[in-house]
């Protein structure tokens, strides 16, 4: 099992839980969409997986390890197995596009000669081959998102988490990115994509998780209702 | 929907193909682009503070060297020399006893050199206290004999004094022991003070580095969070902080000791121009030995600053997830 949630809740500091009673599992090679209205807790849900927060209740397992109370020293190795495309990109403004994409390799202590070509290839693929030395403040929102995507993939992750990965790119690039996720998923990576875009979910036909009021709701009725309205 | 097999296959999950971490050479790491930006780490002010502290540490080190050299010169003169003083009822008797004592000293084993201090020299020594004039004619000024003796004889000066009293009953041997002890104690106090000042300045450097490291990490909170999220360990981030502070400390401390060397050079030049301490104070030797010793300052500051910044970073990071 790649991700396991058992009755998981999340509260920030002493506030009320924004996520509660979550039971969920993601197996190797699975692809899930995560949807729900704004403020439903999609980003917080992903944060629990990429280890930005620990749950305030319940139990979270990642790659078979219980991370609920795992020592801090155990977390970096787990994080290196996850590629995250953050909704707000989270690039380092003082580094170039190349250096931002190379960051996961650099922190893993890999020599540049081993990843230089990979980084260039990814930047070329996302259409930023000519902006390799540009720094994020000089990039558009869409370009930043593409750099963030390349950074998430460079370390060949076992789990890809993407928070609204097509929100800032044009439809053609959005489709291209989603196709890549599907291909990577076929080749073994587990994928969770958080999105509002129901048409995207329908087009790919992958299972969906729906968050509502901090809880996981049954996703099927929402899709069925939407399809019913179309007929 | 067709995919893009080429790029997907290239970046498909693969534990086996994941490159192994490699240890980078120290110089390569120092030259690499810093992952923590300058903002918040107070690069300029910190470099200036370290330069000022290195300047003060350089002066403290110079003071230590100067006191050590001066005390060494003074005590070595005092240690090898003895003074024989011959008192008497009148100057004629004093002169006779002095001549006999000098003859005895010159024929005694263990006396390296013995010389009678002339009445004119004695009068000059008394001038600061008794004023100019024919002091020797008015007073029975004791005769003085300066001698340098071997270590073996110095250990048994009472025997020498007894022997001298057989030819000069008014002879008293002074081994300068009291002066030696006082000078040594004063020199040790001066040296201890210089070392204390040196350590105090290093301590101030450590405190500033700790403060700046904490402030730098707080100002770069988002960068630190991103580094953590892409898999950086605390040790990796602490290395980045350490590298940055090491570079700042190196720059600041080199500037500081260059200034200290310049200031000491000017002081040494001024001392020599003023007569080189009239033979009483040794001049400050700014030779290669001192210049080499001055390198302790940047070494000390680099070590203290880098280690403090690293430990502070590790402590600060341990409070995060």
- Residue with the larger pLDDT of the pair A218 and A104: A104
Residues of A in contact with B224 (CB under 8 A): none
CA–CA distances in Å: residue A23 to residues A53, A61, A211, B309:
17, 11, 12, 43
Q: What are the residue ranges spanned by the domains of chain B? A: 26-74+181-317, 88-169
Largest separation between any pair of C-alpha atoms in chain A:
56
Q: Is residue B34 a contact partner of residue A148, using CB atoms and an 8 Å limit?
A: no
> Per the CB < 8 Å rule, is B10 touching A121?
yes
CA-based torsion, A79, A80, A84, A89: positive or negative:
positive
Question: What span, in angstroms and rounded, lies between the C-alpha atoms of B72 and B187?
Answer: 9
Cβ–Cβ contact B17 with A under 8 A: yes
Mean pLDDT of B48-54: 94
Q: What pLDDT was estimated at residue B227?
A: 94
B1 touches A at CB < 8 Å: yes
**What is the rounded average pLDDT of the residues B55-80?**
83
Query: Is the CB of residue A173 less than 8 Å away from at least one CB of chain B?
Result: no
Reading the block at residue B242, the tokens are: 């350490």
pLDDT confidence bin for A39, thresholds 50/70/90: confident
Residues 175-194 of A with CB under 8 A from B: 176, 179-180, 182-184, 186-189
pLDDT at B138: 67
Across-strand partners of A62? A3, A65
Q: How far apart are CA B36 and CA B223, in angstroms?
A: 7
CB distance B253 to B56 below 8 Å? no
pLDDT averaged over every residue in chain A: 89
Mean pLDDT lowest among B139-153, B224-238, B251-265, B295-309: B139-153
A70 shares contact with chain B (CB less than 8 Å): no
> A10 has which bridge partners?
A19
Report pLDDT for A226: 53
ipTM: 0.90
Q: What digits encode the pLDDT tens for the residues A73-84?
A: 999 999 999 999
Q: Mark yes or no for CB contact A76/B24 under 8 Å.
A: no
pLDDT band at B283; cut points 50, 70, 90: low
Spell out which residues of chain A touch residue B230, defining contact as CB-CB under 8 Å. Answer: 79-80, 103-104, 107, 151
Query: CA-to-CA distance for A47 and A56, rounded, in angstroms?
Result: 13
Which residues of A fall within a CB distance of 8 Å from B23?
109
pTM: 0.77
What pLDDT does B60 receive? 92
CB contact under 8 A, A79 and B231: yes
- CB within 8 Å: A187 and B10: no
Question: What pLDDT is recorded for position A193?
Answer: 95
pLDDT at B278: 54
Question: Which residues of chain B neighbour A188 with C-beta distances below 8 Å?
Answer: 12-13
Q: What is the pLDDT of residue A136?
A: 96
Please choose, from the candidates A120, A196, A133, the residue with its C-alpha nearest in 3D space to the C-alpha of residue A164.
A196
Nearest to A125 among B7, B233, B321 (CB): B7
Percent pLDDT > 70 in chain B is 85
Contacts of residue B21 in chain A, CB cutoff 8 Å?
Answer: 108-110
Q: For residues A180 and B8, is the Cβ–Cβ distance under 8 A?
A: yes
Interchain proximity B226–A90, CB inside 8 Å? yes
Q: By the CB < 8 Å criterion, does B22 face chain A? A: yes
pLDDT of B1 reads 42
B29 CB within 8 Å of a chain A CB: no
How buried is residue B283: exposed, middle or buried, by Cβ count under 10 Å (0-12/13-18/19+)? middle
pLDDT at residue A34, as a whole number: 94
* pLDDT number for residue B124: 78
Task: Assess whether pLDDT exceeds 60 at residue A18.
Answer: yes
pLDDT score of B2: 46
Residue A100 to residue B160: CA distance in whole angstroms = 86
What stretches of B220-233 show up as alpha helix (H) in DSSP? 221-229
Q: How confident is the model at residue A35 (pLDDT cuts 50, 70, 90)?
A: very high
The reported pLDDT for the residue numbered B33 is: 64
Q: How far apart are CA A59 and CA A81, in angstroms?
A: 20
Interface of A with B in 6-65 (CB under 8 A): 50-54
Q: What percent of chain A has pLDDT over 90?
A: 67
Q: Are A55 and A20 in contact (CB under 8 A)?
A: no
Please answer yes or no on whether B321 and A125 come within 8 Å at the CB atom.
no
Rounded to an integer, the average pLDDT of B245-271 is 91
Q: Residue A69: what pLDDT? A: 86
Residues 6+ apart with CB under 8 A from B101: B84, B86, B145, B164, B167, B168, B171
> In the predicted model, is pLDDT for residue B229 greater than 50?
yes
Among A154, A151, B56, residue whose Cα is nearest residue A165 = A151
Q: A183, B318: Cβ pair inside 8 Å?
A: no
So what's the pLDDT on residue B22?
57
Asked if B24 reaches chain A (Cβ–Cβ under 8 Å), the answer is: yes
- CA dist., res. B107 & res. B104, Å (int): 5
Residue (of B202, B310, B248) closest to B46 by Cα position: B248
Give the tens place of pLDDT for each residue, A113-163. Answer: 889 999 999 999 999 999 999 999 999 999 999 999 999 999 999 999 999
Assign residue B21 a region (left: φ > 0; alpha: ψ between -120 and 50; beta: otherwise). Answer: beta
The alpha-carbon radius of gyration of chain A (Å, integer) is 18
Rg (Cα) of chain B, in Å, rounded? Answer: 34
DSSP state of A136: G
Residues from chain B contacting residue A203 (CB–CB below 8 Å): 1
Helices marked H in chain A = 42-49, 75-79, 97-107, 112-125, 141-153, 171-186, 198-204, 220-230
Q: Once rounded to an integer, what is the mean pLDDT over residues A208-229?
A: 69
Q: What is the pLDDT of residue A59?
A: 96
The pLDDT score that the predictor gives to residue B140 is 75
Question: With bands split at pLDDT 50, 70 and 90, how would you rate the model's confidence at B137?
Answer: low
Mean pLDDT across A90-119: 93
Give the pLDDT score at A163.
Answer: 94
Angstrom distance (rounded) from CA B218 to CA B42: 12
Helix (H) or strand (E) holding B309: helix B296-317
- Flag whether residue B25 sits within 8 Å of chain A, measured between CB atoms: no
Please count the CA atoms within 13 angstroms of the CA of B63 that sit on its side-chain side: 18
Average pLDDT over all residues of chain B: 82
Looking at chain B, which residue has its C-alpha nearest residue A178? Answer: B3
Candidates A107, A121, A184; nearest CB to B236: A107
Q: Distance from B315 to chain A by nearest Cα, in Å?
A: 13
What span, in angstroms and rounded, lies between the C-alpha atoms of B28 and B47?
Answer: 22
Q: What is the pLDDT of residues A48-75, one digit of tens each?
A: 999 999 999 999 999 999 999 899 999 9
For residues B259 and B79, the model is more confident at: B259
CB proximity list for A37: less than 8 A, separation 6 or greater: A212
Search chain A and give the residue with CA nearest B225: A52
Residues 89-108 of B with CB under 8 A from A: none
Tell me the shortest Cα–Cα distance from B309 to chain A, in angstroms.
19
Q: Which of B15, B19, B228 lies closest to A114 in CB terms?
A: B19
Give the largest CA-CA distance in chain B. 129
Asked if B208 and B248 touch (Cβ cutoff 8 Å), the reply is: no
pLDDT value for B39: 44
């Amino acid at each position: 099992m790649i991700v396991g949630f058992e009755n998981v809740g999340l509260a920030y500091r002493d506030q009320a839980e924004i996520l509660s009673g979550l039971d969920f599992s993601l197996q190797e090679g699975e692809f899930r969409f995560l949807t729900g209205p704004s403020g439903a807790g999609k980003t917080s849900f992903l944060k629990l997986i990429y280890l930005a927060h620990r749950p305030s209740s319940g139990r979270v397992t990642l790659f078979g390890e219980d991370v609920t109370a795992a020592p801090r020293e155990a977390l970096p190795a787990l994080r290196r197995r996850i590629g995250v495309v953050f909704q707000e990109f989270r690039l380092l403004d003082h580094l170039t596009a190349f250096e931002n994409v190379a960051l996961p390799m650099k922190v893993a202590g890999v020599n540049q000669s081993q990843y230089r070509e990979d980084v260039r290839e990814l930047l070329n693929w996302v259409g930023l081959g000519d902006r390799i030395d540009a720094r994020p403040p000089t990039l558009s929102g869409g370009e930043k998102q593409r750099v963030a995507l390349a950074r998430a993939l460079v370390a060949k992750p076992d789990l890809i988490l993407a928070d609204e990965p097509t929100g800032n790119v044009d439809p053609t690039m959005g489709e291209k990115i989603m196709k890549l996720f599907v291909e990577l998923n076929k080749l073994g990576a587990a994928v969770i994509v958080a999105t509002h875009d129901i048409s995207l979910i329908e087009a790919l036909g992958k299972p969906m998780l729906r968050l509502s009021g901090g809880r996981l709701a049954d996703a099927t009725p929402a899709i069925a209702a939407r399809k019913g309205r179309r007929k | 929907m067709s995919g893009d097999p080429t790029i997907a296959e290239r970046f498909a999950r693969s534990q086996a193909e994941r490159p192994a971490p490699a240890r980078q050479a120290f110089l390569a790491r120092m030259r690499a682009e810093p992952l923590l930006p300058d903002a918040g780490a107070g690069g300029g002010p910190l470099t200036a503070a370290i330069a000022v502290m290195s300047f003060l540490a350089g002066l403290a080190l110079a003071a230590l060297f100067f006191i050590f050299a001066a005390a060494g010169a003074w005590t070595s003169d005092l240690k090898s020399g003895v003074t024989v003083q011959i008192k008497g009822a009148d100057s004629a008797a004093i002169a006779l006893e002095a001549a006999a004592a000098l003859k005895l000293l010159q024929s005694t084993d263990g006396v390296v050199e013995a010389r009678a201090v002339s009445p004119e020299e004695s009068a000059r020594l008394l001038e600061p206290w008794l004023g100019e004039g024919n002091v020797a004619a008015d007073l029975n000024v004791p005769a003085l004999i300066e001698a340098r003796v071997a270590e073996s004889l110095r250990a048994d000066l009472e025997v020498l004094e007894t022997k001298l009293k057989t030819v000069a009953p008014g002879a008293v041997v002074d081994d300068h022991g009291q002066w030696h002890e006082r000078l040594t104690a004063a020199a040790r106090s001066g040296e201890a003070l210089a070392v204390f000042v040196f350590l105090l300045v290093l301590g101030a450097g450590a405190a500033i580095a700790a403060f700046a490291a904490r402030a730098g990490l707080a100002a770069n909170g988002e960068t630190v969070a991103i580094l953590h999220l892409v898999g950086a360990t605390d040790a990796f981030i602490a290395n980045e902080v350490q590298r940055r502070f090491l570079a700042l400390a190196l720059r600041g401390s080199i500037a500081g000791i260059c200034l200290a060397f310049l200031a000491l050079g000017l002081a040494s030049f001024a001392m020599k121009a003023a007569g080189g301490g009239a033979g009483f104070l040794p001049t400050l030797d700014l030779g290669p030995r001192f210049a080499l010793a001055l390198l302790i300052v940047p070494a000390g500051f680099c070590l203290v600053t880098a280690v403090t910044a690293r430990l502070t970073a590790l402590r600060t990071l341990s409070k995060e997830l």
